[in-house]
Amino acid sequence: MAKSAAGKWVSRVGASGGGKAYKKSRPGNYYGALVVIVVLGLASTVFARYDYQHPASAASGTPPRIGTTWYAALSIEVCGKNQPFLAANPSGTGGFTVQPADVIRIKPVSAADSGDHATLSQFAAEYPGLIASSTELAIPSSTGAATAATTFRNGEACPTASKYPGQTGKISYAYWTTFGQTKPIVTTNPASIKFAQYLRVTMAFEPAGVTPAPPQQVTVNAMTLDATTPATTTTAPVLSTTTTVKGATTTTTAPTSTTTAPTTTTTAKTTTTTAG
């Protein structure tokens, strides 16, 4: 059957990929959509960079904020036995540093360890060699690395020399938020423990039914002392001497020492001597 004129025209258009007018035209919103996509992409990049460099929520949001200094007491307990204190790392670059006697200083330096991110899990992540999860507790030695003897996992047996030799242990974390609290809150998730001023917390590997003990009194005393002792600032001595030739006038100011907490200012007498 012969094709109609309209049918032939449609066939030619289809074979050629559309008419010239069609090729030259594009939908008006095509370029508009491209512009919107590019603008949104640039805006999100700029805002993300700004939020990273200026963590407003960390500086003015949920405590502890950047600039805050808190102290907490830590204990690590394995099968009824307190473990040695962690090595102090006061030169650490993160928001958590360990002071002598297992005192933790909380001083956030970024959004990563401030506000709701100031958790026991984050502390463990910042301390070299320490692993604290719901299934594993690895305690680093003074060299900064844990060994097989200081790594404990759920379902393993307590060491022979422990209080509960051979009994199956489990990782848990107990914490006390006030000094008057006698019964701890116990959890298996270290990320759920958010630091507060004077928090006491124990990382433990214990058999079922054993409640971890709070940090030792020596640690609590050290924590309280660190939190209540003001910082001390000392100004280096400055010696000033002025001499005038002809008339030989000499003025000497003795060193001035200033110390904060308590503040003491001492100024020696000024002596002026004029030659005849």
**C-alpha to C-alpha distance for 47 and 167, rounded to whole angstroms:** 54
The yes-or-no verdict on residue 254 having pLDDT over 70 is no
By residue count, the chain amounts to 276
Rounded (10°) CA dihedral 99, 104, 109, 113 = 150
Token pair 């039914």: residue:
209
Torsion sign, CA atoms 98, 104, 109, 110: positive
Lowest mean pLDDT among 200-209, 224-233, 251-260: 251-260
Q: With cut-offs at 50, 70 and 90, classify the pLDDT of residue 243.
A: very low
Instruction: Return the pLDDT at 7.
Output: 59
Lowest mean pLDDT among 73-77, 104-108, 227-231: 227-231
Question: Biggest alpha carbon distance in the chain?
Answer: 139
Instruction: Return the pLDDT at 114.
Output: 95
The gap between the terminal CA atoms of the chain, to the nearest Å, is 139
Instruction: Return the pLDDT at 73.
Output: 98
Q: With cut-offs at 50, 70 and 90, classify the pLDDT of residue 272.
A: very low
Check if the beta carbon of residue 130 is closer than 8 Å to that of residue 124: yes
Instruction: Return the pLDDT at 19.
Output: 52
